[in-house]
Amino acid sequence: MHEMELHDLSDDADYAASIQQGSESMNRGDSSKRSSCSEPEGAEILYLKDNVAIHPTQYASERISGRLKLIKQGSSLFMTWIPYKGQSSNARLSEKDKNLYTIKAVSFADIRSIRRHTPTLGWQYIIVVLSSGLAFPPLYFYNGGVREFLATIKQHVFLVRSAEDANVFLVNDFQDPLQRTLSSLELPRAVSVANGPSPTLSTESASGSDAEKGASDQSSVSFQQNGRLRQKHNDPARDISIQVLEKFSLVTRFARETTSQLFRESHIDGFTPNERKKHSQSSHEHQHNLSSHEHQSLIMSNDSQKVPEDVPVTSDSPSDPLEFDRLSLVWGKPRQPPLRREEWATFLDSEGRVMDSKALRKRIFYGGVEHNLRAEVWTFLLGYHAYDSTFAEREYLISVRKSEYETIKKQWQSISAEQAKRFAKFRERKSLIEKDVVRTDRSLSFYDGDDNPNVYLLRDILLSYSFYNFDLGYCQGMSDLLSPILFVMRDESESFWSFVFLMERLGPNFNRDQSGMHSQLFALSKLVELLDTPLHNYFMQNDCLNYFFCFRWILIQFKREFEYEKTMRLWEVLWTHYLSEHLHLYVCVAILKRYRSKIMGEQMDFDTLLKFINELSGQIDLDAILRDAEALCICAGENGAACIPPGTPPSLPLEDPMAYPQLDDDVL
């Protein structure tokens, strides 16, 4: 299948420079293949290709060129891609930005598939998809070599061409490939030949992923060929699809060193150590100016800003979450009863306009919304309806939106079987959506059982959204965000448009380059540094500054951390944007602070911390965390806001549509 290439870069200066550098490197290629002096003992370089590049942005000048290798150690095969240092280009990317994309020894036991692209114009490129469903950025071969790359892999691992797409090569796919999609999550890792744990490359700077164990796909559920929904019995917790988030360590292991370095060295906030001290003192002064209406009391004086070089370790119970806190903390207000219909009516004028949107948002922030009122109120919180709209205007908009939704839905419903055969992207998206929706919240009676119409509605809405926002399409995790909306709205069109407005805020979370997620994780690291310096120092000493253990929290807004009802209550609090549009980051800080004693007392490393964080699901006190998050947000004040780069999700969409560009989604 031939496709039009998006980036024809043959006429830019960086390409000429990289060609020269690549030629010089290739002169050393043969000897490098036979020498492993720079590789771990016992490692053999099977394949080496220079001038292989990635495109972190849409700008040609920001292409990053590097060297791709296939390395064999023992019976295990690994892939690495290392960017060149000191490239002669006009790129605005710094060296540490380039290092962020480094691929350090990913094992083929952790790779699900490789997609090859041969565009009509431009150069061949490949996309490597991990068994978790995540994908590396496309690797462009400016000097050719894709065929040799695949041939070398085939000599050492089981590589088979997909029956559904001739450009896809499945890695270690021993089970019927016709019944599996490229990004299937029913096996968190690819099955190895020996059916054993994944090996690791014994080098300090690169490792495979041996901490995460494979899970059986016996609990999978699928759409049968006759179109009827079937749910198999062995489906504990339905969480296999979301394990891609827990398995993010498969990606972070090879990037951990470079990402942590980025967090250590970056000065985005512009603070020197002395300036940080001044800002902390400024925060102390700020909380003295707060009115009694906004907080109840101050606790723990800020008697010392000095933090010892070695993080103190304690084995005490985490019952006192603020034990190590060196900053003043303002306790948030107690939670209130949810907003009821009678009180809701007092916020509306005779024509249905919300008279004081800030007061309404504040009321919801502290108490949430009664369930039978959510369908009406959520449309305001999500921006679907304007606060100053009337009853009549909203009724008219609903009718118009309903007609628009039917038009969008008919676009994919009208695709014939013959068209579908020639529409690979549609087949891939449809297959992935169908695979996911039958595993979404099946423990709820609303989605339980075979042939449940609500599961079909989930599928239809997600397929329609993939056509409405074709650039973003569908990514795993979206079904988790849609599920509570459909549960509340009980209307297909209203659910679709509410989901559209939610994705206007959270869409960057699903960018394939993960730019939206990285910006939030970076902001989280800066907030922890500001609000809990000892914990920040501990993470720094234990190589945890990438904060990828919080990835699941942020991606799907804590959907897996709380019961369904509590999740909806948390979401409506976050949607108010009352204190901050980034309150979810303060919620992350609050949870980490509450369990700080256990994290530091047990000397958790990255893998132990990741496991511990995932096991917190269902054990977090939502009311206490919201109160802590409010207090932290007030305490941080302007210093906290300065830690969060402009445009960090879930900010309202920026005017620049390229602020979070979604690259061609070839691996949905």
**Are 40 and 201 in contact, with CB atoms under 8 Å apart?**
yes
At residue 40 the predicted structure's pLDDT band, cuts being 50, 70 and 90, is: low
Residue 60 is predicted with a pLDDT of 65
H-assigned helices in 50-124: 95-99
Give the Cα separation of 157 and 77 in Å (integer).
8
At residue 104 the predicted structure's pLDDT band, cuts being 50, 70 and 90, is: confident
Residue of 284, 295, 259 lying closest to 100 (CA atoms): 259
Report which DSSP code applies to 197: P
Provide the residue count of the chain: 668
DSSP structure string for 351-414: TS-BS-HHHHHHHHHHH-B-HHHHHHHHHHHTTSS-TT--HHHHHHHHHHHHHHHHHHHHHHHT
Q: CA distances (Å), 28 to each of 16, 21, 32, 76, in order? A: 19, 11, 6, 25
pLDDT higher for 45 or 248? 45
**456: its two tokens:** 């079909």
Residue 349 is predicted with a pLDDT of 97
Which amino acid is residue 103, in one-letter code?
I
Task: Say what percent of the chain tops pLDDT 90.
Answer: 49
The continuous run of DSSP H or E covering 504 comes out as helix 492-506
Residue 69 is predicted with a pLDDT of 95
Give the Cα separation of 160 and 163 in Å (integer).
9
Confidence check: pLDDT of 565 > 90: yes
**Are 182 and 430 in contact, with CB atoms under 8 Å apart?**
no
- For 395, what's the count of Cα atoms within 13 Å in the CB-facing half-sphere? 5
Beta-strand pair 222-223/229-230: antiparallel
Q: E strands, 517-645, where?
A: none
At residue 131 the predicted structure's pLDDT band, cuts being 50, 70 and 90, is: confident
Residue 93 is predicted with a pLDDT of 59
CA 359 to chain CA centroid, Å, is 33
At residue 56 the predicted structure's pLDDT band, cuts being 50, 70 and 90, is: confident
Confidence check: pLDDT of 256 > 80: no
Q: Which residues share a beta bridge with 223?
A: 229
Report which DSSP code applies to 432: H
User: pTM score, two decimals?
Assistant: 0.57
Residue 39 is predicted with a pLDDT of 63
**582: its two tokens:** 């980034």
Confidence check: pLDDT of 317 > 90: no
Between the ranges 140-144, 319-323, 621-625, where is the mean pLDDT highest? 621-625
Confidence check: pLDDT of 181 > 70: no
**Are 642 and 532 in contact, with CB atoms under 8 Å apart?**
no
Average pLDDT, rounded, for the chain:
74
